[in-house]
Amino acid sequence: MEDFQYQIRGGNQITLSDDLAREIKDRYQRSREDRFQIYLLSSALRNKYLNKKTNTYEEEFQTWYASKGLTKIFGQLPNFTKYCGGGDVINWVGTKTSDPQKYLAQLPLSLGALYELSIILKSDEDLFPLLLQFTPSRKSLDEPKYDWVTKKPPLISKDVTEQKLRTWRRIWDSPPPPKVKRSDKRTLKFVEITCNGELLDFHRKTGEKIGVLDLDEVDQFLVKLRALFDEHTNIKFKLTDHMDYLTNAYFKRKDSYDVTKNIGKKKSSNKKYV
């Protein structure tokens, strides 16, 4: 095993050389490949030990997962399932695209972004290849494919964030109604709907989502509300949502409890890493 030294190099140890550039690239590539393999192993475990009838993991797996301390790596089983989703995406790109190496290099590395892509892949496998080439949009759910607007750059890229993918998916699954003229008379307040503040609750130590409400559920509820509106009801009623505000607040809070961002910030009586 490599003997890591967790301290910043100085002096002649850090020079703008070919060797340093090579080392950075090698370490980055190894890290990326190792992370992808973890996602794939997770997906393989779920495929083998998830009971398809009850949608729960077999007792044998749960005992092994707990006894081997894998909670410290993946978190609780709902979070482990997100790793499985990432594995599904990597497996699909690695086995069903025309140029696996090209498109694997295009995938994001973060758990949240890969999980969002797994939701898109699961809901519409035919759409997924298009996202490797373009960022499509549509005006309505029944709009013909030839009327979709497809613009560069592709939605799927190394740098795409979980928040950007979730926002795109929400708009794709429930396109907002067209903007109305300023003379719109639908101004009388009729109904007010609020959501539980636990939407923004995350575990302070692990960063895992806690509380009775998650952003997916808010998205799904909004889809149900929009389904009540058609060209006739739109003349009489107007639905205004604040999903951009809620989404921004959600990810701002989530990032603030991201344990990987806080590594090294805590004072410790053990050996200090400078």
Q: At what angle do helices 59-67 and 77-96 cross, to 10 degrees?
A: 100
pLDDT per residue over 68-91, tens digit each? Answer: 999 999 989 999 999 999 999 999
pLDDT per residue over 191-226, tens digit each? Answer: 999 999 999 999 888 888 899 999 989 988 998 998
Predicted TM-score (pTM) of this structure: 0.73
- Write out the two tokens for 155: 């939605």
Q: In the predicted model, what is the mean pLDDT of residues 134-155?
A: 94
pLDDT per residue over 92-106, tens digit each? Answer: 999 999 999 999 999
- Write out the two tokens for 145: 């494919």
Element (H, E) at 136: strand 135-137
